[in-house]
Homo-oligomer: A and B are copies of this chain.
Amino acid sequence: MTSILPGSPPDVAPTPLDDYLALCKEACDGEIARLYGDGDQAGGLRDLILDYPRRGGKALRPALGIAVCLGLGGHLDAILPTAATLELYHNAFLIHDDIEDESWWRRGKPTLHIDHGVPIAVNVGDAMLSLSLQPLLDNVERIGLGPALRILRAVSHMTRRTVEGQAIELDWVRSNTWTLTDADYLTMVELKTSWYSFITPLQVGAIAAGEDPDRLAPLEALGRHLGAAFQITDDLLNLRADPDEYGKEIGGDLWEGKRTLMLLHAMRCAAPADRQRATHILAKRRPTADGAISLVELLATLTRRGELSVSGRASIHSFLMAQHVSEPKTFDDIRWLYGLMHDIGSLAHARKVASRHAREAATVLADLDWLPASQHRDTLAGLVDYVHGRTR
């Protein structure tokens, strides 16, 4: 099942699921390019908007919407503008998340703000959020007023949930909060990830197909479980995956001090001395993108060589402290955190929780008796299997 990952080796034949996802991505990218047109080249904005989508990615969100819509007898035309909107939102969130998390690497290349600076990256994200309204208005002609408005309301609800989840996570970082339960984590993930990545994509597919409003509740349950399983597994992969397959920097979450299910488990279960050491490490900043050697290390070297006085070094240190250029995490710190999570059983715990949610998702899908057997339903089942397979 790993062959649907973007970096899958070329000697593995694509599965029907791979083909389906590739078709969805092609259709959706075409819609985004059409939407922006060729005419306007304001500040190179068009190329910047298409940068992340062109880097690959599975177009998971469009595929979920398309599979539900087509599986319920709807047409591709009915869901394609909305699918493009979901992909625009996703990529806008990625660009802004990368700034917020200080990530350096995305789909095998430097992040947009590393390549072009924070100002341009903030604006490109805003541009994608702004552009995403147009396809939802195009829906009026394509699927009629009622469904078009229901989709607008669903997307409005989705974006609110997403920024609330993001706000909770950022607040945990700012307040250096680590005493959090699995339930706290799952609430945050549902808001931050499940709504825009799973629940809304599934629901807009049903709305575009003209399905009854009472179908939306089971799709919400399906999306919630899929989202939890997906995010936990994504966080686990971040610790250990092959970068060629995974496309993000490995262990980046630990450098960022991201609250993952396993790190929270370790902080709850560790011996007091280990918890104290972990808290100290996690309070350190991550090293800057440029610096293999840090300024602090350079100053130590100069002092050892007698080129910088001890008092001079102290002045520079206090200057840097005032500028919040504090001590960075080291590779040893990261290795120690990983060892702690491994030894204490946090990785096994996270895999268990992810697997439970994946099984729940499979059960919910199996119970959807109003969704007839088809390649579209098979695609949904394949995606559930894929998420489940990653949890093992």
- Name A128's closest neighbour in chain B (CB-CB): B163
Q: Are B164 and A40 in contact (CB-based, < 8 A)?
A: yes
Tell me whether A308 and B312 are in contact in the complex, defined as CB-CB below 8 angstroms, given that A100-B122, A174-B116 are known contacts: yes
Q: Which of B43, B129, B311 contacts A126 (CB 8 A)?
A: B129
Contact call B123/A167, Cβ cutoff below 8 A: yes
CA distance A323 to B119 in the complex (A): 17
Q: How far is the CA of A45 from the CA of B170 in the complex (A)?
A: 10
**How many copies of this chain sit in the oligomeric assembly?**
2
Query: Which B residues touch A293, using CB under 8 A?
Result: 319
The answer to whether A119 and B101 touch (CB under 8 A), given A171-B44, A319-B295, is yes
Chain B residues, Cβ within 8 Å of A270: none
A213 within 8 Å of B (CB atoms): no
* Interface members, chain A 284-311 (any B CB < 8 Å): 288, 290-291, 293, 295, 298-299, 302, 305, 307-309, 311
The reply to whether the CB of A118 lies closer than 8 angstroms to some CB of chain B is yes
CA distance A118 to B100 in the complex (A): 7
* Complex contact B126–A96 (CB within 8 A): yes
Q: Taking the complex as formed, is A42 at the interface, i.e. its CB lies under 8 A from any CB of chain B?
A: yes
Return the CB mask of A68-97 against B: 1 if under 8 Å, else 0: 000000000000000000000000010010
CB under 8 Å from chain B, chain A span 116-160 = 116-120, 122-127, 129-131, 133-134, 137, 140, 145, 149, 152-153, 155-156, 159-160
Taking A191-B42, A312-B302 as contacts, is the C-beta distance between A170 and B119 under 8 angstroms? yes
Contact of A315 among B42, B126, B298 (CB under 8 A): B298
List the B side residues contacting A145 at CB < 8 Å.
145
With A119-B101, A123-B170, A307-B309 as known contacts, state yes or no: A45 contacts B322, CB within 8 Å: no
Q: Is the CB of A133 within 8 A of B130?
A: no
Question: Is A371 in the interface zone, CB < 8 Å from B?
Answer: no
Instruction: Decide yes or no: A45 and B118 within 8 Å by CB, A307-B309, A312-B302 being known contacts.
Output: no
Q: Is A166 an interface residue (CB 8 A)?
A: yes
Binary contact readout A159-190 vs B (1 if CB under 8 angstroms, 0 otherwise): 11011111111110110000000000000000
Most chain B CB atoms below 10 A, which of A43, A100, A137, A152: A43
Tell me if A302 and B315 are in contact (CB < 8 A). yes
Cβ of A129: which chain B residues have Cβ within 8 Å of it?
126, 129-130
**Which residues on B sit within 8 Å (CB–CB) of A130?**
129, 156, 159-160, 162-163
Contacts of A298 in B (CB 8 A): 315-316, 319
Question: For A117, what are the chain B residues with a Cβ–Cβ distance below 8 Å?
Answer: 174
A126 to B127, CA, bound (A): 11
Q: Does A344 contact B (CB under 8 A)?
A: no
Determine if B42 and A168 form an interchain contact, defined as CB atoms under 8 angstroms apart. yes
Q: Point out the residue from B307, B316, B323 that lies within 8 Å of A288, measured CB to CB.
A: B323
Is A99 in the interface zone, CB < 8 Å from B?
A: yes
Alpha-carbon distance between A373 and B140 when the two chains are bound, in angstroms: 38
One digit per residue, 1 when the CB lies within 8 angstroms of any chain B CB and 0 when it does not, for chain A 311-350 equals 1100110011011100000000000000000000000000
Instruction: List, sorted by A's number, 26 A–B pairs whose CB atoms are closer than 8 Å.
Output: A42-B165, A43-B166, A43-B170, A43-B171, A116-B174, A122-B122, A122-B125, A123-B170, A124-B167, A126-B129, A130-B156, A133-B133, A133-B156, A134-B156, A137-B149, A145-B145, A290-B322, A290-B323, A290-B324, A291-B323, A295-B323, A299-B316, A302-B308, A302-B315, A307-B311, A308-B312
The 4 A-B pairs with the shortest beta carbon distances in the complex, nearest first, are: A43-B167, A43-B171, A130-B159, A307-B312
